[in-house]
Chains A and B, each alone.
Chain A
Amino acid sequence: MKNLLILGAGTAGTMMLNKLHKELDKEEWKITIVDQYKTHYYQPGFLFIPFGIYNKQDVTKPKYDFFPPGVDVIFSQIDRIAGEENKVYLENGEVLNYDFLIAATGTQTRPSETEGLKDKLWYKDIFDFYTIEGALALHKKFKDWEGGNLVMCIPELPYKCPVAPIEFVCLAEAYFAERGMKDKVNISYVTLMSGAFTKPVASKMLGDLLEEKNIKVIPDFYLSHVDNENKKIVSYDEQEIPFDILTIVPVNMGSDMVKRSGLGDDMNYIKTNKYTLQSDQFENIFVIGDAANIPTSKAGSVAHFAGEILMENILAAMEGRALPAKFDGHANCYIETGHGKGALIDFNYETEPLPGTFPLPGIGPFGLLKNTKMNHYGKILFRWIYWHILLKGKELPIEADMSMAGKKRI
């Protein structure tokens, strides 16, 4: 019996588990998956919790619901991967041997990396919406908030779901407008980037959208610390922005297990070949999802597209063949823009998000870089797709490689 070991049962790990469980000969391969938590969160749904659109039940299911029969499941923290020995040491003392390993240990928020963030205002006036706790605390805060300066701050790259902060300020604008508080709430979007988004065409479109909604974009702000006494955020070049509520994307880093294993960069992301998804150091280690240091978005859609490439490559590697597939960095993000509308972007390593229609050229039904009702329905439908298709490793009618069909170069 040979061993396939999957570390991490989040979006990427669970998806790979289901795909490979279907594909591999059960007489030949034993599959084991390890995770420290028993609950699976639909993370794209966290964004909607502060506004009461989703509640905790809407985004929570037991991980066991998504594990196929016959798979070994271990709930434990991971100490380290010993690549030279083909072994994984767990915190609970167990040692696991592997022939092939898939690392899907994701990325985590690290509020302690920023001075003054996890201090006396944390979850009183300062919130993240990247954890269930943060999203719920913010929901409670918004219920009886009387208004003031709402500041959304992005202090470091990369971070999970690059469009979420844009969606957050759009949904906040709509939420307070519906409550008749438009004149009482000033929303600003503070980012270390030079615009609303990194890629120029999308940055312009999204920047204009925020401006239309009276959301102030403050670019090139690199956060030094949070001043809890005066309720201000302060940048390294001494700009100061006062807040009444600060919502922040805490610094994101990969798992400390990666550091202990000596496989990562300085942010604990595993050094990965961006085309083959193989670890730079060990041929029998593949990396998927946010855990990899590949230069694309940290998002479930990327893990989904990368998953198809990884399947082809790991099956080839198991049979001793050359790796046939190349990942192109494909990402596809619905952007909720408030008032029942949404936008959509589709891009990869080489091609920035462009306007057009998706997935069918000229037809859609979704509009790329356009603010439409149909895109919003896409986002709402996606939760069902996530639980029932994506995690279970079933096919979606969208190609893994990004297509230029339906896109306009500008």
Chain B
Amino acid sequence: MDEQTKATALNSRHRDLKALMAPFGGWDMPIQYEGIIAEHAWCRQKAALFDICHMGEFIFQGDFEAGGLEDVFSFSVKTIPLGRSRYGFLLNEQGGIIDDLIVFRLAEDKVMVVVNAATADNDFTVINSRLRGGSFTNITDRTGKLDLQGPLAREVMLAAFGEKMASIPYFKFITVQILGVEAIVSRTGYTGELGYEIFLPVDKVCQLWDLLLQDQRVKPAGLGARDVLRLEVGYSLYGSDIDETTTPLEAGLEAFVNFDKNFVGKQALLSQKEQGIRRKKVAFQVSSRRSPRHHYEICFAGETVGSVTSGVFSPMLGCGIGIGFVKPELTVIGTPFTIRHERVGMEAVVCELPFYSGGSLRS
């Protein structure tokens, strides 16, 4: 672990659990504990606990319109109801995705912005440069975040914190007292399962981790399982599937762009809409248990037509699954691809997203 790599408050917990650790987004993170497949299965069947303290959190307080925040993202902040959150993008002038993020409406004049770890510092600088007023604070270092995900997550939260956890709808959150401090409990996640993201002061995160793991229905899961879980439900991974050279239109994420308001990158996206996109996200299923992997070539009729941005073996489907980018005309369901890398070749066919839709997400 080099000196630039940061450790979350739970680092010694992961090491005590003999986790395999690796750098991710500038942080020393657990990739797996007992094994990616076992942790994936536990999350799909029970409840898995993830250390997500590496993600970034910012607070904006002030007038959204006068302060300039309303024009910063691809979606409207002022129309997010209190106690709800909204997913979308921070874009550059060319419409490229600087980050994908979620904004939580904490109060009439206050939001929390939750961003990816690797991009957090740059995001803060970019957002700050677009603001004209209000206060904008990076609270990443003092904020802990745990994700509890899986069909039994609600029962676990009920047992740990009581009735107030019973009825938080999807993409809603509550501010509650947990372990003597104020915490945000949100019905969001990255797995396709019923689940919670819990934000609280970082000095309480070990206590929360220990408390949740006391429940026999909960096991820790690492970023390896998280990657398989998110790809099975078709969520994009920033840095792999989307980046500053990719627009939401190309990535099939137009639903998270609101063209009825102003935002940085709007003109570029409008002209891209008019001219048509030249490449588009495509999902495919492999005919065997082979895994497509990042940078493998996508071939059609003997020619290389694109490359894989994410790929894994899907335990739910029993085959390899992947996403990548190709010309829009090659994204028709049923189009046959060959995925190639050196000596490896695998047959695949274009399919719909999500790959797996049996999760407990909205239950």
Q: Do A and B come from one complex?
A: no
Interface residues of B (CB under 8 A from A): none
Interface of A toward B, CB cutoff 8 Å: none
